[in-house]
Structure 1
Amino acid sequence: MVFVLPGVKFDLDMIKKYDTPAPRYTSYPPATQLTEEFTATDFQKAIALSNQRQSPLSLYFHIPFCQSACYFCGCNTVISNNKNIAKPYLEKLVQEIKHTANLIDTNRRVLQVHWGGGTPNYLDCDQVEFLWKNITQYFNIDSQAEISIEINPRYVDKNYIFFLREIGFNRISFGIQDFNSQVQVAVNRIQSEELLFDVMSWIKAAQFDSVNVDLIYGLPHQTLQTFRETVKKTVALDPDRIVVFNFAYVPWMKPAQKNIPVEALPQPQEKLEILKMTIEELTNSEYLFIGMDHFAKPDDELAIAQRNHTLQRNFQGYTTHAGTELLGFGATSISMLNDAYVQNHKHLQDYYQAISHDILPVSKGIKLTADDILRRDVIMCIMSNFQLSKQEIAEKYYIDFDEYFAEELEALKPLEVDGLVSLSSKYIQVTEIGRLLVRNIAVVFDIYHQNQDKHFSRTI
């Protein structure tokens, strides 16, 4: 079987060769390196140093609640139909916002705000407004900020969508996964085609600046033909961005996946054929292949940021603002400062207890070394912009690039032979083929990978 990207071919054997576990590099070092030795006091010190840098900010707010479990989901969620559980959570979340905001220089502008989950639209309109007012009271939100929210399309109506737009959200994302009803039943995510098109029509009528939808390939009962129909219907929805995730079947980590009929999962070769078809269909429909699993229209901010070399990655995936530092709020959320990463407690009881004692709810974290920061820059250039100037890195970090990364450059040579990367005296350039396998290129520069737990998702 020959796998085709625009103007490029490579065979199935090579895909299998590189289909190995690797981090998604939403951070470097990966989140697996965070330890409990990093404390709330360490986080406060990191924030103080961050204030000296005066970097602009991104804010993330985690709403963990869902009304039902989607069996494919890998997020940290709390399943409950009792909406009352959101009230104490919001109270503690606002306390965390106040506590953290008191540590932040008020002159620092917020360029991005994102609400994720779980299901942020688990909250009713009054609760959304309550949280939003506290965010805007305690942080300096830029007038041109990107303000985005994830929604579950099964639990919104037209009025809710228009309310989100009026209150200030200008970007929105929702999960489709698959239009096929048999697949939806198998993963406990039943949502009709009519519903999905209605939700998109409301979003467009409300004039959101950008709409993202998520698909997942590798789910039970998917075939090449049924997923082709899903892709075509997704294109007909006309979103600005499409993310096509590879389903990672890890029931030992996510017990809800034990409900999935494993015998119904597509075989590896069919999964690859589905991926090949998806890339062809989307690129033929004028979506740009941003990299890994992201596609965007040419005029979308992701595509523009990539052309301007300002595309970056954080724990939410690709982001359009390089240079911002991320503060995460709520249970399980992650903050990413320039030289420190911090994760909040995952369990609500632990999170509530820390907040009640007026302590930042830090579960674990890591203080980055100078080598971590250098390697992060290299890995993020590869992951986001698919090219790296050795000279720029050398001048920025006062190193001889070829000498510092001699082993890594040697390890890249077989990947160059296979056509994934082009090496020269000045540049490391990811090829069109390499965009699909970019994690395999980035991992070469990851000094932690040899000792890491290999329970990462596979690269294809």
Structure 2
Amino acid sequence: MTSPQTNNLASRPVDVMSPDLLRRYDVAGPRYTSYPTADRFVEAFGESDYLQALQQRREGVAVKAYPLSLYIHIPFCEALCYYCACNKIITKHHERGAEYLRYLEREVALNVAHLGAGQTVSQLHLGGGSPTFLNDDELRALMAMLRRNFEFAPGGEYSIEVDPRTVTAERLNTLALLGFNRLSFGVQDFDPDVQKAVHRIQPAQQVFDLVAASRALGFDSVNIDLIYGLPMQTPETFERTLAQVVDLRPDRIALYGYAHLPERFKPQRRIHSQDLPPASAKLVMLSSALRVLMGAGYVYVGMDHFALPNDALAVAKRQGRLHRNFQGYSTQPDCDLIALGVSAIGHVGATFSQNVKTLEAYYDLLDQGRLPVERGLALSRDDLVRRTIIMALMCQGHVLFESVEVAHLLDFKKYFATELQTLADMQAQGLVTLDGNGIQVTELGWFFVRGVAMVFDKYLQADRTRARFSKII
């Protein structure tokens, strides 16, 4: 079974999708940065369960051969972006950053006490919020603290999310000297009216200058984030933004569909529903992005990522090494993820865990000498096999029955008889192909790959309440 030729999507017009097909899949669903998804975590999983997972890793055979990934959540932002669904704290009091770093050091120490010192790290990601809320001295202190506790592998991927409004070329040079080799700039849209509607004003020239400085400094990869479906966006305005992106030519592009969930995310209540483009316009924007970006030489990595052919993400896609984690698509193997900071989500062994979501609770638990784990999940055998299938669909676009059967000791066609019946209907719609060897997502199916993956989501099939998720198109 061969992988789909997704670059042909660039030539596939929107009208190939029938109104019935669009209506059928105009539904909400997970993005599958994990399976089970974070909304399935339970408070019955707590600190003791997480500690057990750390201990099991420490006692594992040849643990040094399996590097760690680190995620650090910096929650602070100076200004509120109305579309944002991240866990953030809006403040102009920068002294709060120093206090937060002191508590992060305590959390690291507690983790290392159970993991063992000097564990190898091959991937680091600073997210938020805005990590560049921290000043240069604070970033130096943070990286020095991490290097005292972990061994950073040469050639690893060390990335940081950057708010273009908070950095200069000089600050980017500091990040390079600290060992960061990948930057991700939050752009969202270049149109001034859209920027005003979402309360994020940043001139295009500012972004162009910063990307040019990043290249001069030798960063391995520069990513920009875009969002389609924002208020005041139209297919025409977004086409202009795409043309500017082609001129900018970042190494990677993360393209997300805006999920309007004002009942869950208070900042989104400042966005008026009547200002949002309809689903049909969002589909045109997605199709335009595929046409324009792939026409400019970008590889369509997956549902929300594009990369230049020589970028490590595109190479991993070609070689079948692509993975997916809480930061999206990744070149790193499916390794244990230690998550640090308020609300951060980690993955150790066959467990997921999430920290408490407020600073008050985070500080209080660390003051007591306790790890700030609020909830999580120990994966069952069924969770593990479904996770394998869902991640294969999301990353490679195909599943081989035999590989799943050998890894999980089951008869695929018997175990997933109901799911295969559903996929037969999707095959009739042109979204997948099925044969005796496995499942293949088609060119058309890549528009709906989240819907294909949802077929194997046991939790979602049992609970049809999907208001907490974004639309899959």
| TM-score of Structure 1 vs Structure 2, range by shorter chain | over 0.9
Q: Give the corresponding residue for 2:46.
A: 39
Alignment partners' CA distance in 2, 1:29 and 1:62: 21
Q: Give the corresponding residue for 1:5.
A: 9
Q: Does 1:363 align with 2:374?
A: yes
Q: Does 1:374 align with 2:385?
A: yes
User: 2:96 is paired with a residue of what secondary structure?
Assistant: helix
Amino acid at match of 1:418: Q
Deviations 1:172-199 (A, max 9, x none): 0011111111110110000001111111
Alignment partners' CA distance in 2, 1:60 and 1:374: 25
Is the 2:10–2:295 contact (alpha carbons within 8 Å) kept by the matching residues of 1?
A: no
Bigger Cα displacement from structure 2, 13-22 vs 153-162: 13-22
Alignment CA distance shift 1:224-1:372 (3 Å): same
Q: Give the corresponding residue for 1:25.
A: 32
Q: CA deviation at 1:205?
A: 1.1
Amino acid at match of 2:424: K
Deviations 1:211-238 (A, max 9, x none): 1101111111111111101011011111
Alignment partners' CA distance in 1, 2:427 and 2:80: 43
Deviations 1:31-77 (A, max 9, x none): 01101111101100011122315232100000000000000111000
Q: Give the corresponding residue for 2:234.
A: 223
User: 2:440 is paired with a residue of what secondary structure?
Assistant: strand
User: 1:351 is paired with a residue of what secondary structure?
Assistant: helix
Alignment partners' CA distance in 1, 2:301 and 2:430: 18
Alignment partners' CA distance in 1, 2:173 and 2:151: 24
User: 2:95 is paired with a residue of what secondary structure?
Assistant: helix
Amino acid at match of 1:84: E
Alignment partners' CA distance in 2, 1:367 and 1:359: 20
* CA RMSD across the alignment: 1.3
Is the 2:347–2:353 contact (alpha carbons within 8 Å) kept by the matching residues of 1?
A: yes
Q: Does 1:343 align with 2:354?
A: yes
User: What is the aligned counterpart of 2:463 among 443, 451, 454?
Assistant: 451
Is the 2:10–2:290 contact (alpha carbons within 8 Å) kept by the matching residues of 1?
A: no
Alignment partners' CA distance in 2, 1:109 and 1:436: 38
Q: Does 1:166 align with 2:177?
A: yes
Percent identity between the two aligned chains:
39
Q: How does the TM-score come out when normalised to structure 1?
A: 0.97
Alignment partners' CA distance in 2, 1:17 and 1:214: 28
Q: Does 1:265 align with 2:276?
A: yes
- Written as runs of structure 1 = structure 2, the 5 A alignment for 1:148-297 is 148-297=159-308
User: 1:354 is paired with a residue of what secondary structure?
Assistant: helix
Bigger Cα displacement from structure 2, 24-33 vs 259-268: 259-268
Bigger Cα displacement from structure 2, 11-20 vs 300-309: 11-20
Q: Give the corresponding residue for 1:16.
A: 23
Unaligned runs of 5+ in 1: none
Q: Give the corresponding residue for 1:320.
A: 331
Alignment partners' CA distance in 1, 2:11 and 2:283: 19
Q: CA deviation at 1:277?
A: 1.2
Alignment CA distance shift 1:84-1:452 (3 Å): farther
Q: Give the corresponding residue for 1:414.
A: 425
Q: CA deviation at 1:321?
A: 1.5
Amino acid at match of 1:416: Q
Bigger Cα displacement from structure 2, 103-112 vs 173-182: 103-112
Q: CA deviation at 1:85?
A: 1.1
Q: Give the corresponding residue for 2:5.
A: none
Q: CA deviation at 1:322?
A: 2.1
Alignment partners' CA distance in 1, 2:89 and 2:146: 23
Q: CA deviation at 1:109?
A: 2.0
Is the 1:178–1:184 contact (alpha carbons within 8 Å) kept by the matching residues of 2?
A: yes
Alignment CA distance shift 1:8-1:423 (3 Å): farther
Runs of 4+ in 1 over 4 A off after TM superposition: none
Amino acid at match of 2:470: S
Q: Does 1:65 align with 2:76?
A: yes
Bigger Cα displacement from structure 2, 295-304 vs 102-111: 102-111
Q: Does 1:50 align with 2:57?
A: yes
Q: CA deviation at 1:387?
A: 1.1
* Number of residue equivalences: 457
